[in-house]
């Protein structure tokens, strides 16, 4: 998902699209759907994953 992320422009639209894709994958991994109405923060805490925006910042700093 982060292939050549150092070169990507950090536009709000791209970060939002990555965030949506990440949450879809996390919900699928955890076995929940959007109908279960569990907040994104709760799913991230249970899985133990940082938000994608923080990950992108780390990749840009390398």
Total number of domains in the chain: 1
Q: Which residues, other chains included, contact 17 with Cβ-Cβ below 8 Å and sequence gap of 6+?
A: none
Is residue 1 in a domain?
Answer: no
Residue with tokens 């939002």: 16
pLDDT digit string (tens) for 1-35? 655 556 666 678 888 988 999 999 999 998 988 89
User: What residue numbers bound the domain in which 20 lies?
Assistant: 10-61
Q: Which residues, other chains included, contact 18 with Cβ-Cβ below 8 Å and sequence gap of 6+?
A: 1, 52, 56
Is residue 48 in a domain?
Answer: yes
pLDDT at site 42: 92
Is residue 44 in a domain?
Answer: yes
pLDDT at site 20: 93
Determine if the pTM surpasses 0.75: no
Ranges of H-type helices in 1-62: 12-30, 40-47, 52-61
């Amino acid at each position: 998902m982060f292939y050549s992320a150092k070169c990507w422009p950090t536009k709000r639209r791209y970060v939002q699209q990555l965030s949506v894709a990440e949450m879809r994958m996390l919900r699928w991994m955890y076995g929940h759907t959007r109908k279960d109405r569990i907040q994104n923060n709760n799913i991230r805490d249970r899985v133990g994953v940082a938000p994608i925006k923080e990950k992108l910042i780390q990749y840009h700093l390398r």
